[in-house]
Amino acid sequence: MRFVDTNILLYAISNDPAEATKAESAREILESRDLALSVQVIQEFFVQATRPSRSNPVSYEHALGLIQSFMRFPIQEITMAIVLMAMSTREKFRLSYWDAAIIESARAMKCDVVLSEDLSLRQDFGGITVINPFAP
């Protein structure tokens, strides 16, 4: 299983010509069946996709429809165990809490890869590797 970070979902809905290649790649990724998400990723997606300052914000209804379609993937709930592990991972790897929560949600879903443009790439976070799917 591969864990998908929020930026993949956001690129998948982008219609910005400057992001066309990333948008196409993100859409191809989301056609896979071996993906997992977390409640945190869904929350971040909703906030960013509907943000009025976004170049093309989506409506509440559109965002809700997209989120319902993302529910075809396994989704990791936020638990106190994940919160506590994320706090530890934050300290160990000097990440933001939110990035550490992504890593620990991926671990809880038994993913060994996180697809993200944002995290420290190719670093092994205790058995979880971050891969930028947009890197050449």
Give the pLDDT band (50/70/90) at residue 124: confident
Q: Helix, strand, coil: what percent of the chain each, to 5?
A: 50, 10, 40
pLDDT tens profile 36-92: 999 999 999 999 999 999 988 999 999 999 999 999 999 999 999 999 999 999 999
> Quick check: 121 pLDDT over 80?
no
User: Alpha-carbon distance 94 to 53, whole Å?
Assistant: 30
Q: Which amino acid is at 39?
A: V
Share the mean pLDDT of the chain.
Answer: 95
**pLDDT at 110 (0 to 100):** 97
Q: Which domains does the chain have, with CATH numbers?
A: 2-131 (3.40.50.1010)
pLDDT at 71: 97
Pull the structure tokens for residue 32.
């896979």
